[in-house]
Amino acid sequence: MVTAGIEAATEPSSLHLREVCKTFRRADGAEVVALDRLTLDVAEGEMIALIGPSGCGKSTLLRMIAGLDRPTSGSLRVGSQPIDGPGAERGLMFQDPSLFPWKTVRRNIETGPAARGVLRSHRGEVDEYLRLTGLEPFADSYPHQLSGGMAQRAALARALINHPKVLLLDEPLGALDQFTRMRMQDEVVRIWRARRTTTVLVTHDIDEALYMCDRIVVMTPRPGRIERVMDVTLERPRHRNDPRFLELRAEILEMLHFAGDEPAEAEGVAS
């Protein structure tokens, strides 16, 4: 399998969030608490999901782990290293693939090594990632010529080639159609199992979280808090129709008040 060549060059690392708070000031001067004293540990090589309705602060949290935003208080560490600004050891992928439109697929994937000045020694690896993501025939295409799924795979390859210690996925498959999405879920799991990169997946999709992750962190909005952390002990590869899968699914729906026998309290919740 092609994954042989992409054994982790960097050891994955654990992630520690302690009492993380984030408040925003609205235009009218009122303070909004986006995250309220959030504490969470993610083990090395673990894949966890953050789920919850819009406004529960999951994307804010991800941006803080990426170093793009700073917490109002509390601490974030990768291993023993405090997070201080963005860096190549924490890869981030958004729902919008955000490929650089002026670069070909190959050049997009090369961005990380080029930015770190190590492109010369990584050229062979670029080919490997093109092969891994099935993008070899499109290496010289521009992003606007790609389908949504191909663009997401290119964005994934671009994030992975840096061998991040932690991979942050912000609804990476949210904009894809159902079939492409399920295929991409398998793809991400396959790469993750080969690399064992510590991964934090933000998603709206309960099935996606159950299918892919070791643990699911269910969050509630205003202020953003952890409602519950649920272990998913189903063995891999998982099956979407496994009765235990469906049981866990029902449990999460219950927790989010979407089981059906009582009216939903939280508004603005996507599937």
Partner 1 sequence: MTLATQLAETKAISPGRADRGAAERRRGLSSPAWALAPAGAAALGLALHLALPDRQPSAALRPFTGLLAAMLAGSLAMAALGRTSGRPGAWARHRSPLAAGIVLTLVAWDLLTLKLAWLPLPYFPGPDRVLGAMWEDREALALSAYHSLRLLACGYAAGAAAGLACGVLIGWSKSARYWGMPLLKVIGPIPATAYVPLAMVMFPNAFISGVALIGLAVWFPVTMLTSSGVADVPAAYLDVARTLGAGRAHLIFRVAVPAALPSVFLGLFMGLGAAFLTLIVAETLGVSSGLGWYLKWKQGYLEYAHVYAALAIMSLFFSGLMTLLFKARDRALVWQKGVIRW
In contact, 109 and 157? CB cutoff 8 Å: yes
Cα separation, 259 vs 52, in Å, equals: 15
For the bound state, the minimum distance from the C-beta of residue 145 to partner 1, rounded and expressed in Å, comes to 9
User: How many Cβ atoms sit within 10 Å of the Cβ of residue 226?
Assistant: 19
Residue recorded with tokens 């995250």: 35
| CB closer to partner 1 out of 83 and 232 | 83
Calculate helix-pair angle for 148-160, 119-132, nearest 10 degrees.
Answer: 140
| CB closer to partner 1 out of 104 and 220 | 104
68 backbone dihedrals φ, ψ, rounded to 5°: -80, -25
For the bound state, the minimum distance from the C-beta of residue 89 to partner 1, rounded and expressed in Å, comes to 8
| CB closer to partner 1 out of 116 and 123 | 116
| CB closer to partner 1 out of 157 and 232 | 157
Cα separation, 105 vs 116, in Å, equals: 18
| CB closer to partner 1 out of 54 and 141 | 141
Which residues, in sequence order, are bridge partners of residue 16?
41, 77
Interface residues with partner 1 (CB under 8 A) are 66-68, 85-88, 90-92, 94, 96, 98, 100-103, 111-112, 114-116, 142-144, 158-159, 162, 168
For the bound state, the minimum distance from the C-beta of residue 218 to partner 1, rounded and expressed in Å, comes to 26
* CB-based contacts of 255, cutoff 8 Å, min separation 6: 218, 227, 228
| CB closer to partner 1 out of 107 and 215 | 107
Residue closest to 12 by CA, chosen among 86, 75, 68, 91? 91
For the bound state, the minimum distance from the C-beta of residue 217 to partner 1, rounded and expressed in Å, comes to 21
